[in-house]
Amino acid sequence: MNFDARKYVIIVFIITVGIIYIVRLFFMQVIDDSWTLRAQEIAEKRKQIVPPRGAIFDRNGVKVVSNRTYYNLMFIEDEVKNLDTAAFAQVLGWSKDSIAIRFKEIIKEQGTYRDKNDNYKTKSNYQSDRPYAFIKEMTLEEIATIAPHLDKFPGFYEEITSMRSYTYPNGANIFGYLSEVNEEEINEDHFYRRSDNIGRAGIERFYEKELRGQKGIRYIVTSARNNELKPYMDGIYDTIAKQGPNFKLGIDILLQEYGEKLMNGKRGCIVAIEPSTGEILALVSSPTYDPNLMVGNRNIAKNYPKLILDKDMPLFPRPLAAEYPPGSIFKLLQSLIGLQEGVITPNSGFPCNKSMVGCHNHPSAGNLSDAIKFSCNPYYYAVTRRILQQGKKTSVFADAEIGLNKWYQYMMSFGLGQKFDADATGLRPGLIPNSAYYDKWYGHLRWAFSTIRSISIGQGEVKLTPLQMANIACIIANKGWYYTPHFVKSIGQKGSLLQFRIKHRSMIDSKHFDPIIEGMRRVVYVNGGTGGKAKINNEEKIIVCGKTGTVQNPQGEDHAVFTCFAPMDKPKIAIAVFIENAGFGGTWAAPTASLMIEKYLTRKVKDKEKEKRILEASFKK
Amino acid sequence: MRQGEKLTTNLDWPLLITYFLFLIMGMATVYSTSLDPDHPNLFDYSQKYGKQVVWLGVSLFLGLMVFLIDSTIYRKFAVPIYISTLVLLVIVLFMPPINGARAWLQIGGFGIQPAEFAKTGTALLLARYISSLNIKQQNLNSVLVANAIMFVPMILILLQPDAGTFVVFTSFLFVMYREGLTYDPLVLKLVNMIPGVKFKQTWVGTHFIPIMFAIVFLCIVTLLLSNNIITFNFLPGVEIPGFFGVILSLVVFCLIAFLFLRFISTKRERRRISTVIIIAFVLSASIASSVNYLFQGLKKHQKDRIELFLGLREDPNGEDYNRNRAMAAVGSGGLAGKGYTNASVATIESNHVPESETDFIFCPFAEEWGFIGTFILIGMYMFMFLRIIMIAERQRSRFNRVYAYSVVMILFYHLAVNIGMNIGFAPVIGIPLPFFSYGGSSMMSFSMLMFILLKLDSQRSHVLQ
Ligand SMILES: [Zn+2]
């Protein structure tokens, strides 16, 4: 018998196995990705590098918000060996018991989950092979006393973290603050990991996506004992963390600082805007707080409850969110609408007839500019009646409906009754009533001018935010247009957002502004004007055009308001000052505005007496 | 050695070069997986690669010695060599166990595994015995002696215990089959004990070895599939119960075999082929059914153990954990690999895959070189095996041929089991990858196997045996 053919059995067997193995390897290595994922799970650690947030500069290049290095004392339980609690407590300056308490607290902070694979038992998210912060956000001085001893406590190490630092204790309501992300935010945006910070208010919140920069990821090969060995594949997949771009604001931090100083002891706001650009120069909300109080979770835990419970509401951004009746500054707008509608001329005169509404004692205004100078209430009743009741319908009610809706359109074109598309959070729209609004109150065709006449002088239903009041001054300074007020001039190499480069035009032709501006000049510079205290150093070097307002307050003392711009010929700054319970606008609000203008335009204030008077005033009860 | 003949005359260069390529690749992989950045010198004796360099040197020196000795010595001294390996296998059983096995013999500072050398001894003696047989006149005695040569060292190795090497020894069955060694005398003896039966020859006895392998293979496949439901990505909704799948595969396999054999056979043989295939099908189907039935009837813990052994169940801390990590390392290599020294799972330092320099050395290689590397590696092994078979078939001496087949089957077994456990095809039984794995004993014993083969081949024209 010849067995030579049997060699083929063996050859076929060997080759078959070889082919099967090669096919199997092709599937495992080339086709199926799950083994690669499994290998990553086993041997790699993704380490996120959180970059410092973008720094923020004021309009003059002063760094106003920067980053400072803080230190977390981290630990990994599995690597902690024979912890000498007494010695450790001594190094930290803690009591011995508080060490154990802190460990328990950390485990508790991680929360729990229900294990699907183990009868839905409640289990802690805490994992003994993961790093946790034993003490968060220590300053260099604090860590310096601990760091030299750390080698005696294996498993503990320091980790660098970056937090905000504010050069000036001002602008808290502009910048906002940061705090740790919550579970919902982590789920919503995969950028965040537990214990990352997120902007909570102001610019920090509005520009969160830009300011936070780009996280870097390092892939690290780890051993079975979870030691970090080396960068994965020499780091070719690593990405570098990128700090957020530098922000340049329209804010003048020295003006902001001065404004906050002036408003000390008062409730209210100052809003200053550059009319030609819409850039907010200062936005004072009083009372305010030092933004450094809200840096880091330790500070927030300590200070936030105090701030939120303060009855003067320092966390409330009044200039953006407080809605006040505008008072007499509203007369500027009524004048403009009257002229545009052709129901009055610059030479229209109305008697100061106090039968319907009170007025102070002054000669009747024979023209529009004087009416503004005197801030004559009956005059504006007459003007507003002409705007609302143009006689287009025989029914006085139907006529008022048409008139009011026309008037509403004008008001909207001034940016009122709506939220600005500004780079701030918490903005409020104010309120401009239209026919639908009054129909709800009185019923359709159940109201006419006489029903709603208090809107003529900026009382009644009308409400504006201080930002809108300042923007009115901008529109007048620009003779008819404005840019949406905004904080940020530029982000990195890019300019401001597109929405801040679109000119909004009011419905008023620019020719109608001259008598109004003249009236505002007279308010300050002509005898009998209500805002004489807005003169800068009692001279006419810088002409201030303004309008006083006194907002009736049924709950207490009237609020003082003043809106103005300067200089008259080439406006550089428009301001609204609103001081709660300060009474007549010309007494307190006007001089405050003039000090701000002087500070901004001349960089110093000469009239120390005026300044002292404002600084010392207090209207808080 | 004849006068005037050079040492390299008739040397089979392709095989020798492949062997050296494996040595270089193996050395490079050992270096990569156990690299200590503080001691990057390849010749640093404190490191594994430094030691492996020494083993390589010793192996090549032994290879040179083999070459200087006339090849007739292996035939002459086959018995003493075999007996001395057996003595070592006995002595090692009285040594203190290392990792639960009495496999190591400490000589000076070195550890030696006699089991590795027993393969050479057994191969030589088996070659000598079979070459002395008259194949046409086999009797019960010849079957028993041939099997005893194989089984005595196997049993000693099982006592250590070393399951891997034990399995490798079954490779000699293929060698016996190739040489026409038959189990027929044994089968006849048993069958003819039945009154009234008097066979002269049985088909089962003649093809006993491949039939045994086919049955074992069938059993394992049945066990693997019987609890599964087979689905196909390209046929959504189609679900085939595992056992039905086994029977279906058998039907398809038999049909293909039938058509193929019909195509190459003469008319006269066709009837016989049909009968054989029908009998084979019925037998296989009944074996598969009974295995399936027996398995379903097992108690749970018995089932668990079998499933664990077959890798059907995850054992988080045991061998399956190792296999899972090994497979992750291999699978993560991708097409082109992570690059030399860039393995992240299979390195000694990371220690995710244990024994990544010895039994799991395929892992770092596959992880670093990807499918391109593993394809080339398996291709090279296939080339080496076919080359050895070619060498075997050109021998005029049966001793040489039996020895050559022993070498190729031992190497093939090592490859199949070692890579098989890295890709989930074989249970985790630790045996080294030839010429790759770190370790002196395996390196020396594989080199000896290879050099003796090369020497025998180079002098194939000298002797007619
Ligand atoms: Zn009047």
- Domain with residue A427: its CATH number is 3.40.710.10
pLDDT of residue A1: 54
Q: What is the value of ipTM here, to two decimals?
A: 0.87
Q: Using the 3D structure, point to which of A214, A249, A284 is the last residue of a domain.
A: A249
B318 part of a folded domain = no
B367 part of a folded domain = yes
pLDDT of residue B190: 80
- Measured between alpha carbons, how far is residue A559 from residues A357, A508, A550, A554 in Å? 19, 29, 6, 10
Percent residues over pLDDT 70 in chain A: 98
Residues A240, A326 within the same domain: no
pLDDT of residue B305: 66
For residue A269, give the H/E element and its range.
strand A268-274
B330 part of a folded domain = no
B3 pLDDT more than 70: no
Q: Which of B177, B331, B409 has its CB closest to that of A29?
A: B331
A38 part of a folded domain = no
Residues B349, B252 within the same domain: no
Percent residues over pLDDT 90 in chain B: 28
Backbone region of residue B241 per phi and psi (left: phi > 0; alpha: psi in -120 to 50; beta: other values): beta
pLDDT of residue A484: 95
Q: What angle do CA B384, B387, B389 make, to 5 degrees?
A: 110
Bridge partners for B229 per DSSP: B241
Residues B177, B201 within the same domain: no
For residue B402, give the H/E element and its range.
helix B398-422
pLDDT of residue B273: 75
Q: Does A16 touch chain B (CB under 8 A)?
A: no
Note down the domain range covering A210. 46-249
Tell me how far apart the alpha carbons of residues A272 and A282 are, in angstroms, rounded to a whole number.
5
- Measured between alpha carbons, how far is residue A229 from residues A232, B343, B351, B353 in Å? 9, 12, 11, 15
A117 pLDDT more than 70: no
Number of domains in chain A: 3
Residues A228, A294 within the same domain: no
Mind listing the pLDDT tens digit for each residue in B194-248?
777 777 777 777 778 878 888 887 787 777 666 666 666 566 666 777 777 778 8
Residues B14, B40 within the same domain: yes
A387 pLDDT more than 80: yes
For residue B315, give the H/E element and its range.
none
Choose the mutation target among B130, B350, B389, B402 for the interface with A, i.e. most A CBs under 10 Å: B350
Average of per-residue pLDDT across A506-521? 95
Average of per-residue pLDDT across B92-110? 79
B316 part of a folded domain = no
Bridge partners for A495 per DSSP: A490
Residues A237, A326 within the same domain: no
Residues A348, A481 within the same domain: yes
Q: Give how far A156 is from chain B: nearest CA, Å.
A: 22
**DSSP conformation class of A532:** G
Percent residues over pLDDT 70 in chain B: 89
A293 pLDDT more than 70: yes
A226 part of a folded domain = yes
Please state, rounded to an integer, the average pLDDT across all residues of chain B: 83
B188 part of a folded domain = no
Q: How many CB atoms lie within 10 A of CB A244?
A: 22
Q: In terms of DSSP bridges, do strands A63-76 and A56-57 run parallel, antiparallel, or are they unpaired?
A: antiparallel
Residues A287, A337 within the same domain: yes
Q: Using the 3D structure, point to which of A249, A268, A289 is the last residue of a domain.
A: A249
B465 pLDDT more than 50: no
Contacts of A72 (CB under 8 A, 6+ apart): A133, A135, A136, A137, A138, A158, A159, A160, A161
Distance A352 CA to ligand 1 centre (A): 4
Nearest Cα neighbor of A54 from A295, A243, A294 is A243
Mind listing the pLDDT tens digit for each residue in B239-294?
777 777 778 878 888 888 778 777 777 777 777 777 878 887 888 888 888 877 77
B10 part of a folded domain = yes
Bridge partners for A218 per DSSP: A47
pLDDT of residue A290: 94
- Domain with residue A243: its CATH number is 3.90.1310.10
Average of per-residue pLDDT across A464-469? 96
Do residue A43 and residue B342 have CB atoms under 8 angstroms apart?
no
A386 pLDDT more than 90: yes
Residues A67, A86 within the same domain: yes
Q: Give how far B165 is from chain A: nearest CA, Å.
A: 19
Question: Do residues A461 and A453 touch, judged by C-beta distance below 8 A?
Answer: no
Residues A370, A328 within the same domain: yes
A325 part of a folded domain = yes
Residues A244, A283 within the same domain: no
Average of per-residue pLDDT across A494-520? 92
- Measured between alpha carbons, how far is residue A420 from residues A210, A414, A485 in Å? 21, 11, 8
B319 part of a folded domain = no
Q: How many CB atoms lie within 10 A of CB A619?
A: 18
The three-state secondary structure class of B132 is helix
pLDDT of residue B311: 58
Q: How many residues does chain A have?
A: 621
B325 part of a folded domain = no
Q: Give the confidence band of A481 by pLDDT, cuts at 50, 70, 90.
A: very high
**A546: Cα separation from own chain's centroid:** 27
The DSSP code sequence of A361-411 is S-PPBSSHHHHHHHT-HHHHHHHHHHHH--SSSSSHHHHHHHHHHHHHHHH
Q: Using the 3D structure, point to which of A193, A214, A249 is the last residue of a domain.
A: A249
B55 pLDDT more than 70: yes
Residues B297, B367 within the same domain: no
Most confident of B106-110, B117-121, B138-142, B317-321: B117-121
Structure tokens at B199: 């066979």
Q: Using the 3D structure, point to which of B311, B343, B364 is the last residue of a domain.
A: B311
Residues A226, A268 within the same domain: no
A621 part of a folded domain = no
Residues B401, B447 within the same domain: yes
Structure tokens at B445: 């014993």
pLDDT of residue B348: 75
The three-state secondary structure class of B426 is coil
B310 pLDDT more than 70: no
pLDDT of residue B212: 82
Residues B18, B150 within the same domain: yes
B1 pLDDT more than 50: no
Q: Which of A14, A21, A224 has its CB closest to that of B423?
A: A21
Residues B123, B214 within the same domain: no
Residues A426, A465 within the same domain: yes
Q: What pTM was estimated for this model as a whole?
A: 0.66
A54 part of a folded domain = yes
Residues B407, B300 within the same domain: no
Q: Which of B334, B344, B379 has its CB closest to that of A221?
A: B344
Tell me how far apart the alpha carbons of residues B50 and B42 are, in angstroms, rounded to a whole number.
6
A69 pLDDT more than 50: yes
Question: Do residues A578 and A269 touch, judged by C-beta distance below 8 A?
Answer: yes
Residues B37, B143 within the same domain: yes
Structure tokens at A529: 């004007």
A162 part of a folded domain = yes
Lowest mean pLDDT, pick from A114-118, A283-287, A378-382 = A114-118
Tell me how far apart the alpha carbons of residues B155 and B138 are, in angstroms, rounded to a whole number.
25
Note down the domain range covering B284. 194-311
A214 pLDDT more than 60: yes
Residues A257, A339 within the same domain: yes
Choose the mutation target among B34, B208, B345, B409 for the interface with A, i.e. most A CBs under 10 Å: B345
Mind listing the pLDDT tens digit for each residue in A549-566?
999 988 889 999 999 999
Number of domains in chain B: 2
Question: Do residues A379 and A352 touch, judged by C-beta distance below 8 A?
Answer: yes
**DSSP conformation class of B337:** -
pLDDT of residue B241: 73
Question: Do residues A607 and A255 touch, judged by C-beta distance below 8 A?
Answer: no
Nearest Cα neighbor of A399 from A411, A381, A413, A386 is A386
Mind listing the pLDDT tens digit for each residue in A330-379?
999 999 999 999 999 999 999 998 888 888 888 899 999 999 999 999 99
Q: Give the confidence band of A314 by pLDDT, cuts at 50, 70, 90.
A: very high
Residues A75, A21 within the same domain: no
